[in-house]
Structure 1
Amino acid sequence: MRRLFALALLVLAALAGLPAAQADGDHSTKVMVVVDASASMFETTDGAVTRMGAAHHALRAAAATLGPREEVGVQVYGSSRSQDAARDCDDSRVLVEPKVGNQKQLGTALTLPPSRGASPIGPALEQARDELGPTGPRAIILVAHAAPTCDVDPYAAAARVTQGDPDLRVHVVGVDVAGTNRRTLMRIADAGGGTYRDAHGADQLKTALGTAVSRATQIYLGGGSAVAGGDDRHQATEVRSGTWFDTIGAPGSDNDERWYTFERVLATSTLHLHASLRVRRDRDAPVSSDGLQIEAFVGDKACGGGEDAGEGGTEAVLSAYAPVPTLTKPDEECLVADTVTFVVRRTGDHDLPAAPVEIYAAEEAPAPDEPLTAARPDGDLPQLELSSPNGDLQIGAPAFGLAPQLAIGTHATAIVPGETRIFRVPVGWGQRLSTAARFPESVDGRMTGQISVISPNRASVVAPRSADFGDGSDALIAAQTASIAYGNRSSTDAAVAAANVAGDYFVVVSVDADDDVPRVDVPFVLGVDVLGTEEPRPGYRGELVDNASPTRAAADTEGSGFPWWIAALAAIAGLGVGAGAWFATRQSDGSGA
């Protein structure tokens, strides 16, 4: 019977390898789209529509992509039709309040008659701040054509509404602007700590506004459930396989460490523990060092750990990974213990704000009959050829749990200097991933592009590779993994050892630049290819640990939408479960934890 449950858990693990629905949580960003409705917005743009008509279609398309918990509103300024409208600096009004479930209202909000209004950008930004409230992640997206009028300095207003508030940003989309107007709008975005995007014509405005809304509503935390780690090992909070999010304090504070425990379901399984944190960007603050560590213990015995560090101002994603036991020389005590305790620790400068941290845990069943022999060296593949991009613009995510899946091919994408963007690519047993990114020569200033690859269990497979571009020079950065094999974990080559499991591999792209470089979208192309024929998965099997009762095993599968007993019957019947079946338990959304 115990083997039956183990088989059921393994089959459920295969289901867990499929993309999971994002868990609901009170961590969405509240957004106000502030649209220029002054007279110039009713002139014709490319696409045989007015700029306002193009904005209407763009907002309707963006609204159609909103999730069930995303709060987006729309506000206009300069929409007055009165005779003295050009002198009205209070001409700003909310058309749709930011709240969930208002997609229909957003889709019809910008069907406005022509106006005679001014362009009071400064007062409009201040009103948008007040409408969004004082707490939580918030963003203002300014869509503008006309130069600002009225006495309120728009740069000072943008800086003022975000001053001392790292959770509020002002992003700008410039509609058919050039020269002085463009520089003005770029300065507003810079003062508001946000990004700037150009849009010439209806099609570009649809892409630019859609991208701005998508990025604004996509905060760091990915799918998973909230968890509050303990203050020390004696108060550690239990977590199960899956993705979790917590908040960790500044280095040196009372809550700069968060403690957790993991109870093994299968005896002698391997635990994969990972923590990631996005460095907070504050260009007005001094450059600061931020770091993240993860350490695992059985009692007082150390069973492995990992760390990462970065500098504030870059929005780098820190990634710390620890397998338990270590893969190359597994410690017996760490291998057989039923309970593993681990700590996620913040390091660096003491003046950093508290930050959200994404925690990932997975339990890998033993495969005692698999030879621990690394795959033969593949050698370097020919460099991936980047063809013309196909499909829509692909925007990566700021967190592993949100990473969009890329199809094989070449994709058009974009990134803002200082950002890190993450994509995922499924790779099967016996296959290898090849990826390459080309960055352009025609950008504002000198920049550095970087690409790396992370495994499904969050180990570093390809260390960051970088190249400079801009000022007349482009850059091509390529990366390749070893062929995926269970026995790779025995390799003394860290890159090969990490390529030991099939599943979603993460391509991590970042761009860095000096503070005086504008935060404008940098277009680049990203290619991915998966080479080789997929091979059968390893012979995973295992016994439930002594204290893992059938009740507990079933509880670990609650909420999966797939009864454990059906999984067991499927396993007995020999139904295929695909390459994702390495996990011994489903990747829980935290229900019942």
Structure 2
Amino acid sequence: MVQSMRTRLLIAAGLAGLLTGTLAVVGTAPAGADEQDQETYGRMILVLDSSGSMKEPAGGGATKIKAAKQALNTVIDDLPENADVGMRVFGAKVFGRKQKGACEDTQLVVEPGTGNRDDLRSAVDGYKPYGETPIPEALKRAADDIGSEGKRSIVLVSDGESTCGDPCPAAQAIADQGIDLQIDVVGLSVSGKARQQLECIAEKGNGTYYDADDAEGIGESISGASERALRPFEFTGTPVKGTPEFAEAPLVEPGQYLDTIQTREKRYYRFKRTAPGTTVHLGLIFEGESEDLVSNLNPEISVETENGDLAQCRWTVVQSTTLGDASRLIFGSTHSADTDPEEPCNTADELVLATSASRGDSGAIAGKKVQLMVYEEPPVSAAALDALPPQPDAPTWTELTPGKPVEGVVPGSAIANAPVVEDGTYSFDINPGENQVIGVPVGWGQHLEAQFDARMTDPIRKEWAVGAGVELDVIGPLGGEATVDISEEPDHWCPPGLLLNCPDAWRTGTLSDTVAYRNRFASGDAEASTGLPGIHYVRVQYQLEENINVPYTLTIKTMGEDGTGEPEYEKVSGLSAPTADLNLNASDDAGAQGSSASGEDGDNPEGRNGSTGEQGSGDLVKLVAGIGGTGLGLVALVTAVVLLIRRRR
């Protein structure tokens, strides 16, 4: 998918912030927590064109080779510490195409690894334009460099047409090795047949083509390709170590926490209520694997009884979706609310929070990180509760009309790094096995609709002959399943079995339940998870195993008037009423009462998605989308993004 200049500027701004946030996640092992594995990044090999044409000028006055060196050094500086990255060049030793070995002229100058950043910089310093353009052989050798297991990516940087045959079949052969391998391509000031060839490599290689017209664009595009290649599931929170005995459990406050999963063992945490009658919410999210199909982790909230036992407040179901042999996002939530205001779960001064492996062998997920989200909601008096309208009926689907797509928004891989967007149409593309997440503010009396429109091509029609493998769902503010099934889809949505006759676009959609206070007392997951307003998350998953990149648009619409059915909360110092902007992932500070915490009145007049004076990712997306072609320069834009990220730390 060709990126416009505006898109590249937006990608550069977004990726500057994402790389900064990624480095913050990697860090050292937290004090007081079990020793945890660092985030698992993919293995990437940079494949660089050393052909003689790289000495030609790029836009902005610099030569292509000089601009590429500057860009590569910036990318190396921003690489996560534990990302396996290597470098291969081609056209660096044999000068002419008629000379022996011209079509095998490629060298691995830095082996993939984590402790090789100085070697990468030295290789960049010695990177010079010289010979021909043997792209097919360079791709084949790069595939050998990165091995056959795990998430692997080749980032090809080239300015010309292959001088040793068509590289597209080579790209296809590499992509056929598995769903966890992709080839992204950065084209340096190319046009005509050369550009078509590089675009074909990206298409066959299940990757993305980035067009760089000038020196500035080269850096932006290489950064964009490397960020997507290395991005892992991300989690956020303050380290905490739950205990197997609830009497010894650590005390937690509202906020986010990170712990590790233990095999068949509960981990307990204690929570002291701010005031009687508050509702305490607990959500969790973690990355599972295909072999733990029967291994789930449940969030629990309990109260201690007079005889020293625990009585659980609610029963909950953890939601998960399998992505073939790829990783999957697993999530769930529960809360302490009870219909009887005199029940201990409503009145106890202290609650016991827990996670527990509920069924099957949890060995496959033992040691993995789990993110916990804790929120305390102010009490609602019995009189105010009686005055609330009854629980609303499930909403029905309304087909949406896509608008002009906004480009440059990078979807997250999990809730923790999901950008927060507003109503509109957004342009994305997705690879097999990917899990893409965006956040949307949803208020009282509102429900969310998301519509997926794929641009159909002949390869997609062929692969999707019996089913598209695309799934959409909605996750509630604290990780609960909030999706309402669409029971009847229009005929032109191309149901399974008719995809070969599909028109230019294929459509599906999802919607959430209407946010209402009484939903929390319902037995259904989609209802119980929408008993609270806040950032809802649309998750797009692509489950087929064939390496076909799918460009699509996602149209977002919040239905209903915000504030409808909002309860009248009692005033409690330190607690604020939940709003559509409630976002527990906007700050890493434990004890921060969501994004709307601002004191007793809950108005939060100064900061939208963080504590007072901070801007969250929703503001970032509005800033980026509003720039268009106006005169805000790249440096100023990147600086603004970095400042936003730093304020959120």
Residue 400 of structure 1: aligned partner: 415
Q: Please tell me whether the aligned partners of residues 374 and 488 of structure 1 are also in contact (alpha carbons under 8 angstroms).
A: no
* Change in CA separation of 1:436 and 1:212 when aligned onto 2, cut-off 3 Å: same
> How far off its partner does 1:197 sit?
0.9
Aligned equivalent of 1:507: 538
2:426 corresponds to which of 411, 429, 454: 411
Matches within 5 A, 1:549-568: none
Question: Per the alignment, in what secondary structure is the counterpart of residue 341 of structure 1?
Answer: strand
Deviations 1:423-464 (A, max 9, x none): 101123344323211234321612222212222133322246
Unpaired runs of 5+ in structure 2? 1-19, 28-37, 188-193, 305-309, 490-494, 575-586, 615-649
Aligned in 2, Cα 1:544/1:408: closer, same or farther, shift over 3 Å? closer
Name the CA shift for 1:233/1:215 in 2 (closer, same or farther; >3 Å). Answer: farther
Q: 2:508 aligns with which of 477, 480, 492?
A: 477
Q: What's the counterpart of residue 230 of structure 1?
A: 243
1:168-317 matches, cutoff 5 A:
170-174=181-185, 196-199=206-209, 201-202=211-212, 210-233=223-246, 236-248=249-261, 254=263, 257-280=266-289, 289-299=294-304, 300-306=310-316, 307-311=318-322, 313-317=325-329
Aligned pair partner of 1:527 in 552, 555, 577: 555
Partners of 1:450 and 1:464 within 8 A in 2? no
Call closer, same or farther: CA 1:580–1:367 in 2, change over 3 Å: farther
**Aligned 8 A contact 1:125 1:157 in 2:** yes
In 1: Cα distance, 2:312 partner to 2:599 partner = 36
Tell me by how many angstroms 1:264 deviates: 2.6
Residue 208 of structure 1, CA deviation: 7.2
Map Cα deviations across residues 79-117 of structure 1 (whole Å, 9 max, x no partner).
524556638777222499968999x97998797423347
Q: Which residue of 2 aligns with 1:554?
A: none
Secondary structure of the 2:556 match is strand
Q: SS of the residue aligned with 1:334?
A: helix
- Structure 1 residues 128 and 89, CA, compared in 2 at 3 Å: closer, same or farther? farther
- SS of the counterpart of 1:401? helix
Normalised to the residue count of structure 1, the TM-score between the two structures is 0.67
Query: Residue 582 of structure 2 aligns with which residue?
Result: none
**Contact 1:289/1:309, CA 8 A, preserved across alignment:** no
The letter of the residue matching 1:357 is: V
Amino acid at match of 2:529: A
Q: Aligned letter for 1:529?
A: K
1:68–1:527 Cα change, 3 Å: same
How big is each residue's C-alpha offset from its partner over 1:502-531, in whole Å with a ceiling of 9 and x where there is no partner?
221111211222x3x12x421111011234
State the percentage of identical aligned residues.
Answer: 18
SS in 1 for 2:296: strand
Stretch moving more, 110-119 or 365-374: 110-119
More helix by share: 2
Amino acid at match of 1:576: D
In 1, are the aligned partners of 2:44 and 2:112 still within 8 Å (CA)?
Answer: no
Asked if the contact 1:58/1:205 (under 8 Å) is kept, the reply is no
Question: 2:482 matched to which residue of 1?
Answer: 461
Equivalent pair of 2:50/2:128 in contact (CA under 8 Å): no
Residues 267 and 172 (structure 1), Cα distance of their counterparts in 2 relative to 1, 3 Å cut: same
Partner of 1:9: none
**1:370 and 2:381 are equivalent in the alignment:** no
**Following superposition of structure 1 onto structure 2, how do residues 91-110 of structure 1 map, counting pairs within 5 Å?**
91-94=107-110
Deviation at 1:140, TM superposition (A): 4.7
One-letter code aligned to 1:35: V
Relative to structure 1, the CA distance from residue 265 to residue 500 in structure 2 (aligned partners, 3 Å threshold; closer, same or farther) is: same
Aligned equivalent of 2:603, options 568, 576, 579: 576
User: Are the structure 2 counterparts of residues 260 and 120 from structure 1 closer, same or farther at C-alpha, using a change threshold of 3 Å?
Assistant: same
State the distance in 1 between where 2:268 and 2:258 align: 13
How many Å separate the matches in 1 of 2:258 and 2:377? Answer: 21
- Find the residue that maps to 2:558 and give its secondary structure: strand
Q: Distance in 1 between matches of 2:609 and 2:132?
A: 64
Pairing partner for 2:405 from 380, 384, 389: 389
Contact 2:472 2:541 in 1 (8 A): yes
Higher strand share: 1
**Cα 1:491–1:275 shift into 2, 3 Å:** closer
SS of residue matched to 2:364: coil
- Give the secondary-structure state (helix, strand or coil) at the position aligned to 1:439: strand
Report what 2:364 is aligned to: 352
Secondary structure of the corresponding residue to residue 219 of structure 1: coil
Question: What is the rounded CA distance, in whole Å, between the counterparts of 2:407 and 2:321 in structure 1?
Answer: 34
Q: Deviations over 1:169-210 (max 9, x none)?
A: 654225668899968996xx7xxxxxx315275479988755
Higher RCO, 1 vs 2 (CA within 8 Å, ≥6 residues apart): 1
Return 481-490 or 365-374, whichever deviates more. Answer: 481-490
CA 1:48–1:462: 2 relative to 1, 3 Å: same
Aligned length: 514
Q: Deviations over 1:234-288 (max 9, x none)?
A: 5544433222233325xxxx4664433333333222121122222336xxxx795
RMSD: 5.5
Alignment of 1:426 onto 2:441: yes
Amino acid at match of 2:549: D
Checking the alignment, whether the CA contact within 8 Å between 1:43 and 1:50 is kept in structure 2 is no
Q: Is the 8 A contact 1:244 1:359 kept in 2?
A: yes
